[in-house]
């Protein structure tokens, strides 16, 4: 298990850059939703909420400094992302496709944190 975890340490090094890229995509999606429907659309506010929880992630994981909190944050963010993507499909199917990189990243990051938790409790 430790060998797999060692192999996945690259995730730590690219995390900040990935979140910057994903944030740009989320802001672009918000802009597109705003242009299409304005602020009166619930998807717009869900997108803002998702953006906020993404940017709060480093704060609550730093202050609590627990892998379990990070895993819970990842799972919550993934669920909100899936809900957001589902709503965007009804608005514009093409827009919903832009959330696929975020879903892939959240799954990979959650598996990585999950492995860290397993290794932590095995030692």
Q: How many domains does the chain have?
A: 1
Q: Please write the tens of the pLDDT for every residue from 94-113.
A: 899 999 999 999 999 999 99
pTM for the full predicted model: 0.88
Q: Please write the tens of the pLDDT for every residue from 7-33.
A: 888 888 898 899 899 999 999 999 999
How far the first Cα of the chain sits from its last, in Å, is 11
Q: Please write the tens of the pLDDT for every residue from 43-98.
A: 899 999 999 999 988 787 766 678 888 899 999 999 999 999 999 988 888 899 99
Question: Which of 112, 100, 67, 22 is closest to 30 using CA atoms?
Answer: 22
Structural domain of residue 110, as residue ranges? 2-122
């Amino acid at each position: 298990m430790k060998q797999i975890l060692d192999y996945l340490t690259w995730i730590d090094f690219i995390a900040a850059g990935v979140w910057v890229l994903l944030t740009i995509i989320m802001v672009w999606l918000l802009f597109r939703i705003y242009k299409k429907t304005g602020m009166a659309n619930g998807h717009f506010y869900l997108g803002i909420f998702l953006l906020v929880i993404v940017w709060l992630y480093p704060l609550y994981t730093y202050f609590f400094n627990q892998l379990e909190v990070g895993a819970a944050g990842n799972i919550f963010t993934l669920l909100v992302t899936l809900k957001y993507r589902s709503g965007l499909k009804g608005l514009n199917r093409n827009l919903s496709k832009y959330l696929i990189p975020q879903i892939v990243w959240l799954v990979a990051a959650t598996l990585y944190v999950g492995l860290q938790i397993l290794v932590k409790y095995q030692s």
